């Protein structure tokens, strides 16, 4: 069975600086999707970025980028130029290409932005 | 376009009572998912509907949980009778046609259930 591990329960960063959130996973599959979701306080969970396992190029969305290391089964999220609005719970998730489409989640990392 | 909505946003009930959570997916989304996050732990999959059919309910914890999706529109998740360990945040998500497995899941704000 697949598992996702986020080893940092909480991280803090100074506004305008860069922070990296860690995520590792375990799977025997060769094709899959990885996601980072963000849940601001009292708000909906939204997709930040996703990565297809068969793509070697790391995904990037504006200030958000990932470092995808398939052999190491690592999928970290880098947030550049951190802003106050980035404060949220960040969840790493895995999805298998089988018929279920269910997401398998990490425990989350609470990101605090210091002004 | 309206997003995924969930009702209520917060429910406090006593052990042994019944609670029904509701999820309205984005219009046109055939896939509907329920997830649960128990305090401080990872989010866990509960079940997946394709239209009105249960595609996968492998994550349902026990028979005190009953999910329905009449007519393939909104879904309800009933907990009867509620136990203390059922406390947590229940998320609903929806996505488009399952043939495109890359389709994003859109989440509702969640229902925080507290069983006392």
Q: What is the pLDDT of residues A69-88, one digit of tens each?
A: 999 999 999 999 999 999 99
| Chain A contact present for B56, CB below 8 A | yes
Q: Could you tell me the pLDDT band of residue A56, with boundaries at 50, 70 and 90?
A: confident
CB-nearest to B109 from A44, A52, A103 is: A44
Vertex B93 angle, CA B67 and B49, to 5°: 40
Mean pLDDT, residues B8-35 taken together: 95
Residue A54, helix vs strand vs coil: coil
Return the structure tokens found at A114. 């210091």
| Chain A contact present for B44, CB below 8 A | yes
Q: Could you tell me the pLDDT band of residue A96, with boundaries at 50, 70 and 90?
A: confident
Q: What pLDDT is attached to residue B9?
A: 94
Task: State yes or no: pLDDT of B97 exceeds 90.
Answer: no
């Amino acid at each position: 069975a697949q598992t996702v591990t986020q080893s940092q329960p909480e991280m803090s960063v100074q506004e305008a600086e860069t922070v990296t959130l860690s995520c590792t996973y375990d799977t025997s599959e060769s094709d899959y999707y990885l996601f980072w979701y963000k849940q601001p306080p009292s708000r909906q969970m939204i997709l930040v970025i996703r990565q297809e396992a068969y793509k070697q190029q790391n995904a990037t969305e504006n200030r958000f980028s990932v470092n995808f290391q398939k052999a190491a089964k690592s999928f970290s999220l880098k947030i550049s130029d951190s802003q106050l609005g980035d404060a949220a719970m960040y969840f790493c998730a895995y999805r298998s290409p089988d018929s279920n489409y269910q997401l398998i989640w990490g425990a989350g990392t609470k990101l605090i932005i210091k002004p | 376009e309206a997003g995924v909505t969930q009702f209520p946003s917060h429910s406090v009930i006593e052990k042994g009572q019944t609670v029904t959570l509701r999820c309205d997916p984005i219009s046109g989304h055939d896939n509907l998912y329920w997830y649960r996050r128990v305090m401080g732990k990872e989010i866990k999959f509960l079940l997946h509907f394709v239209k009105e059919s249960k595609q996968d309910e492998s994550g349902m914890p026990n028979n005190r949980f009953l999910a329905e999706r009449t007519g393939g529109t909104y879904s309800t998740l009933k907990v009867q009778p509620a136990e203390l360990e059922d406390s947590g945040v229940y998320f609903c998500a929806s996505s488009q046609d399952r043939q495109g497995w890359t389709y994003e899941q859109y989440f509702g704000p969640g229902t925080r259930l507290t069983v006392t």
